[in-house]
Amino acid sequence: MGSIVAENRKSLMLFSGQGFPQLADEIGQVLGVAPTPSDSYEFANGELFVRFKESVRGSDAFVVQSVTEGVNRWVMETLIMVDALKRGSAKRITVVLPFYPYSRQDKKHRGREPISARLVADLLKTAGANRILTVDLHTAQIQGFFDGPVDHLFAMDILAEYVEKKFAGRPMTVVAPDSGRVRVAERWTDRLGGCPLAFIHKTRDPMKPNQVVANRVVGEVEGRVCLIVDDMIDTGGTIAKAADILFDEGAADVIVASTHALLSDPATERLKNSRISEVVVTNTLPLTPEKQLDKITVLSIAPLLARAIREVFDDGSVTTLFGGLS
């Protein structure tokens, strides 16, 4: 006999970074598997250490990491976790990044600038990641930065279902906060049954990050509920100024739907003082108590991530989760 034949014993193992372990726990509850326990700590000089307490040999490993505030720490922890899994002989390593870090640095605006989104992909690949699973990339082109499969999930259905139930029967216009979000807004109008589309014409100074000058609104907004859609809310300047100009144009109400709630200072204060009635986000990133405003509604992304993880593990089709959109 020239070979030994073993049974195909695939095993799914879930691993949680420390950025937002509650999300990994929630995903595990949906999947029916608890995150693998680990020793994770920081040395006095800031170096990170991770060791998994169970054997990972031959496993289909899924590393869940929410890259929240303190981005560089969580990116580094993710790389260390992937390296530990590779050296522990995991069969396949999928990095689940609900929010892809450095996604806004996906191209060069001027000379001598980095493309940091590509750098993150290269680091993950070098560390040993075989696959990336992420939600609502800032631009779809980031998928091409990683030399391997990238499963790009969309939170639109989760957000849209809530909006439909909450504002049923009221005339609505989907608003893109800038020209770059028009394609996303078009998908929202299709999802909401063909309601009107508008967008804010604005200018942005590349020398001054997070500062926006909104000019005017193009589209039908008077007397309507205006739904501003975006992939992320960082300092809140874009949506706060967009809301002001929408009300100036006669909007009856302004709400916001966004996947990633970064809410960097002074976003919480801006939203609190704005005329926006509700901000609907997902829990791809944690919201600390001081950021939990009454007007912010958080929907869980865990069921979607769990379904996608299961499809990857079963060698199924992630695309079917979105009717072929991905």
* Dihedral in degrees, nearest 10, Cα atoms 317, 321, 323, 326: -70
Q: How far apart are CA 282 and CA 26, in angstroms?
A: 13
* Active-site hit among 91, 202, 241, 295: 202
Q: H-type helices in the chain, by residue range?
A: 21-31, 71-87, 116-127, 156-166, 182-191, 237-248, 267-273, 302-313
| Residue 241 annotated among the catalytic residues of the structure | no
SS3 5: coil
Which of 149, 18, 143, 150 has its CA nearest to residue 78? 18
Contact 245, 272 (CB under 8 A): no
Cβ atoms of 265 and 226 closer than 8 Å: no
Q: Which residues carry out catalysis?
A: 202
